Structure formats: C-alpha cells, structure tokens
A and B are shown apart, each in its own frame.
Chain A
Amino acid sequence: MIVRYDRSGGFAGLTITAEVDSETLSAKEAKTLKELVEKAFPLDPTKKKKATMPDQFEYEFTIEDHGKSRQYRVNDETITAAIRALSKWLIAAAQQHQP
C-alpha cells in the first residue's frame, strides 16, 4: 500500500507532501499504517466537499492498494481526529524513511 499526503493552502500557502510505501516499512509499521488508514477512511470517497474557509489548510490523501487508487480531500473544517492521527504518522514516517 502506498499512501500520499498533500497539504496545501493556509495563510502562507506552503505545500507539504509525504509518501509512504508499506513495502519499505517493518511489518509492525505496515500494520500500524493499515490500521490508521482504515480508521481515517472507513468509507469510500464521496464527491461532497465542504467549502474551505479562507486560509484553512486543504488535505489530499491518495491511497493505492491492490492496484486500486482512492483519493480523499478534507480541510480544517472537515478533518477528523483519525485523519489527523494518520497525517501526523505519515509525516513522521516519511521523514524517518527519507533516502
């Protein structure tokens, strides 16, 4: 499973991206990632999107698994605790596994 994280917008308009491939992770880490993704995105993506208020962050997650790709978009209005937990983990993991 490959998970891509993309945060854009905000007052500064700085973009932060992270990509984590479970193949490069330990079995334990890969299991954690799978669980975090399942908790963050239990349902299929929907087209419905609440408008981003001025200067809020926009988050885009792309999850590639078994040849299928899913994309989720949330913002500071719609982000959940589980998605926040996944984001934090992805950034830390991407930094740790940097080539």
Chain B
Amino acid sequence: MTKTFHSYHCIIPPDILRNVAEKGNDAQRDWAYKAIEQSAQLRGQREVVGLFAALAAVPAGGKRRTVYDAKNGLTLPGKLVRGENDPSSKDKTVNEAFLGSGKTYDFFSKVYDRNSIDDRGMRLDSTVHYDFEYNNAFWNGRQMVYGDGDGQIFERFTIALDVIAHELTHGVTQYEAGLVYRNQPGALNEHFSDVFGSLVKQYAKKQKANKADWLIGKGLLAKTVKGVALRSMKEPGTAYDDPLIGKDPQPGHMKDFVKTTRDNGGVHINSGIPNKAFYEAAIRIGGNAWEKAGRIWYVTLRDRLRSNSQFQDCANLTLAVAGELYGTGSMEQKAVQEAWDVVGIKAK
C-alpha cells in the first residue's frame, strides 16, 4: 500500500478516505491517514484540517499510535516514521514516544475505562526531533511534540514516561474540563498532567503510593545539573538547585502562592500546591495511588471541573467526589479533606 500511494494520493476523493478511515482495518486507516497527510502537505494544510480532525477522532477498538520525525525542523507533524502496526524503529526516540503513548493509553483504558485522549479512540500522534536542541515538549492541541534537549541542561524529552503521560493528559484535559491555560485554572491543568504523568509511571512500575518517588521528569536533567527531576509532588521546591538553572520555585502551600505574569501566571509554579495535596491524599489512602486517589481526581477532571475552576473549586469537588465514590465520612473522603488542609485550602 505504502509503495503505491504516492501515485494515487492526489486523486482519492476525501469522502473515500474518510470512509476507509472509518470502516477500514488498522492498516487501511494508517494508509488513509498517510494519504490525507500527503495531500495536506501538497495543497496547504488549511483545506484538510477538518478531514484530519474527523479521521483522528474516528472511534476504534484499540489503541492507534503514530510517530513523526520533524528532522530538527519546525513543521508539524513531520515525516511519518512509525504507525501502529509497524516494526520498531532504529531510532530509540521514535520507539520511546511510541511505547510511552501506548503505556499511557493502556493506563487510561484499563484503570478508568477511557478510550484515548477524547474517549472516542482518537489516534495518539507524536512528533520527535522537533527543532534543534529544543529544550521542551508540549501538547499543541492535536498532538504531542518532543525536543531532543541540548545535552547541557536536558536530555531528550521522550526519556521519561511521566513526561509523555503528562503531555498526553493535556489532551485529556482539553477534551474534558477544558481548563484555561492561565493562572489557577492553568496551574490545575498542569497539576492534572503531573498527577496522571506520575500515576502512569507508578502503574507501569507497579508501585504503591509509599514506594513511588513522586518526581516529575526524573532522568530528564543532564548529568551535570544538580537536581533529581523537574518537580517533586511530595516536596515541591526541592527537585533541583543548580547554579545554571536556579532553584525549583514550586510552592507546596497557599501561603507561598507565586503571583507572576510569566509562564501564563505561573502555571508550572503554583501547580506545586495541588500536586502536594494529591500526594498527601494518595499517601493517606494508601495502596496503589491510581486506584482511589487517582479515580477521585479523574472523575473530578472528567465530570466536575469547569474551564475557569480555581484551586478552591478543585478541593471542594474532589472532596465531593470522594464522598460519592467511597461514602460520606469515609476514610477516603477524610484523606482528601486532610490533604487539602496540608496545603492551606479548606475543602468544603
């Protein structure tokens, strides 16, 4: 199929591609996607964005992943290098993105019965080797994007499973609570990505809450940097302290809430406060953090939070959800109440 599609892609009408995408098997879907992508590059992306969206949102039985290579350029998604049924690549970065998004899909599917980012089987797209020595990874509203890091401060961003799960969770949040990426709602957006980033890692390692490291981005900092990770949910503000990149600025209590215009109002800073609350809840409840604490947070994200929700709303809603799932006055609900108390928020 792949060999012949270059000679056909221009003349396949979009509705046929859509039909193949909806009704074909996995290999046919991948082919249809490649054809649409190819024509998108030829005709300019705008015309086919709708088609892309329809195709990406086609409900499917299983997980579907694609990995693209930006070849150190800025064009997204880049060249398709691995589809769901393709053998592993010689490029470990490609395989990390592929396997990491698969582990994240499996986690949401098995633990919370969620079918991908949109719960409708949306294909998981990742682009690796974005830009040159790019010290970052992000979710652009449609896909995950990973830089190689400069080797001085950061290693490649696919190196840590929690980073991959963090990015993918931004997609989940976009389709559920839709938390605005600014100030407290933005910090909650970051918080939920850290929560499920850490839980995917714990689930993969089969770690109970008291055995997990609760670090975000362990292994991502270059060896010369003094630090263990980018963030610590257990002890916000202690992940790194280095002459070059400074000290971890995260607060773990409302009294230390940081007011800033940078970073969309400190979304990566103040997320330390709810992060700490989640850790405290998970530790108090005990066992596997994804089972109860994770479920409370997941249901809150899926069904309760709104785009402008504040920390106080999140505290109130997780308390309510804990009561609904495990009983009013239950050990789990008390744990949630106490957890928010620790960070200076009275959940009610």
Contact = CB atoms under 8 A, between A and B. Distances in A.
A6 to B, nearest CB: 7
A9 B230 contact: no
B18 interface: no
Interface in B169-203: 170, 173-174, 181, 189-190, 193
A10 to B, nearest CB: 4
A14 B246 contact: yes
B138 A12 contact: no
Interface size class, chain B: 20 to 34
Given A54-B189, A54-B193, A55-B170, A10 B262 contact: no
A92 interface: no
Interface centre among B135, B166, B190 (most CB of A within 10 A): B135
A53 interface: yes
Contacts of A15: 262-263
Contacts of B153: 14
B135 A12 contact: yes
DSSP class of A's interface residues: helix, strand, loop or mixed? loop
Contact of A8 (B138, B246, B262): B262
Interface in B222-281: 230, 245-246, 249, 262-264, 267-269
Contacts of B174: 54
B269 A53 contact: no
B343 interface: no
Contacts of B338: none
B157 A11 contact: yes
Contacts, number: 77
Contacts of B290: none
Contacts of B181: 51-54
A53 B230 CA distance: 20
Nearest to B216: A11
A9 B181 CA distance: 11
A58 B264 contact: yes
Contacts of A14: 135, 153, 245-246
A11 B163 CA distance: 8
Nearest to A17: B262
B30 to A, nearest CB: 26
B308 interface: no
A5 interface: no
B140 interface: yes
A15 B258 CA distance: 14
A12 B139 contact: no
A57 B262 CA distance: 10
A53 B178 CA distance: 12
B315 interface: no
B154 A12 contact: yes
Interface in A38-63: 51-58, 60
Interface of B: 135-141, 153-154, 157, 163, 166-167, 170, 173-174, 181, 189-190, 193, 217, 220, 230, 245-246, 249, 262-264, 267-269
Given A13-B269, A52-B264, A60-B262, 7 more contacts: A9-B268, A11-B138, A11-B166, A12-B136, A13-B230, A13-B249, A77-B140
Interface of A: 6, 8-15, 51-58, 60, 76-77
Q: Which 3 A-B pairs have the closest CB atoms?
A: A13-B268, A8-B262, A55-B138
8 contacts: A8-B263, A12-B154, A12-B217, A12-B220, A14-B246, A15-B263, A53-B140, A55-B166
